[in-house]
Structure 1
């Protein structure tokens, strides 16, 4: 009976010792797990914080870069509109070229009319039209002659008439190598008397224009 009791105490002791050992192992494992979680939380949180910070920095950098690009674009647009910029100077240069072209129109000055049928008279330093004729030159007043064709060109350089449409009513000699042409628009709303002179080796040149009230040569064809 005493042997049986002794054996029971031994078994209880061994069982208790095993339970204590298992509990110690669980405590150690639990402690290690807790430490690992704490370390993971600390370092993992820093990584996330660093990632978030890096992401925020990248976003801020992108925003700043975009703002700089927009500011640069705005400055470029402003420069184009400013009078002192290169683009404006180029535009002004083109405009000046156009102005130069229009300013090449011959300046005229008013002169005394030759008779009461003249509304206004003016002179200008017009250039001779190019000629296909050679020297010595003899005026040919015939319809379709080279002189008639070149006289038509000379008339249009000194008036607003269309070379292909205006009517040449009469041409008369006005001295040596000179002529007077009475012309009008096709509807006779504009009537002119144009004085022409032949320039040697150059062609016919307008020297004076008179705008008429009435067509004083139309009677020849009535």
Structure 2
């Protein structure tokens, strides 16, 4: 009897162990299957989300490109509609060329050396000086100009300034022996230094709005206007 009972117990134990093994295998298989399903679902969700994001980005880029093209077209039309004024372009070019020529002329005038020649308008002339760099000395007078040979006038004072400027003699070292009419808006003056060692005949002319300008200086041997 004992042997039969033991055999029965051994059989029941082995059956229980087999059942446990099967149960464990089934449970493990189910767990693995669930994990695989979770992984598949997660991958599908992420991949679909990325695709939607890519589609959204592509749509955004397309929209921005379309908007930029729409904005560019009116600007191109506006540029095409703007009239090209060839006359204005020609005028601007002429003004630029004139300004360049004026600048070059002024530079040449400033760099020019005085031209000194022997002799002049009479045997009493030692040397004649013409300086292209001479400019008008300025004026306080306004309106239409009329030359006035009056020692108390503004015109006389400005003519003195022009003669001093041309000869290099200061007012304190200059004696005016003659200052008279040299033609329309022109004057001639004969001056000496205080020691009478320097004698000049000066030709000046009026420039509207700018004053008297020296045009020629003659250095004389002797003062032909002396008393």
TM-score after normalising by structure 2: 0.49
Q: TM-score, normalised by structure 1?
A: 0.50
